[in-house]
Amino acid sequence: DPELIGEVLEVIKKLAISGMTMVVVTHEMGFARSVANEVIFIEGGKIIDQGAPHKIFTNPDHERTKRFLRKITELYGKSEE
C-alpha cells in the first residue's frame, strides 16, 4: 500500500531529524539518501560498500553497488540529489 509506505517513511524521517539512531533496511534509495548519515550495501551477508550517502550514491567503491544503482536509475530515473 503506497499510502502506508509514505506514512511510515515520514515517521522514520521525523525520528531521524529528532536525532534518534536507527538501523533501517530499505530499497527506497531516495529516502535513504535524504535521511541517512551512513549507507551500507550488503550482499550475501557481507558489507560490500559503506559511507556517507553522497559518496555512495555518486561514487561507490564496489562494482556490485555501481550495477545496482545503475539499474535503479534505468528503472526509475535519477534519484534526487
Would you state the cell numbers that stand for residue 13, as one nine-digit string?
A: 524521517
Domain definitions of the chain by residue range: 22-81
- Cβ contact 12:25 at 8 Å: no
pLDDT at 75: 86
pLDDT in tens, 24-55: 998 888 889 999 999 999 999 999 999 999 99
pLDDT in tens, 4-14: 888 999 999 99
Q: Is the pLDDT of residue 18 over 50?
A: yes
The pTM of the full predicted model, rounded to 2 decimals, is 0.77
The alpha carbon dihedral of 13, 74, 69, 80 has a sign of negative
Confidence bin at 81 (pLDDT 50/70/90): very low
The amino acid present at 44, given as its one-letter code, is G
The residue written with cell numbers 539512531 in the block is 21
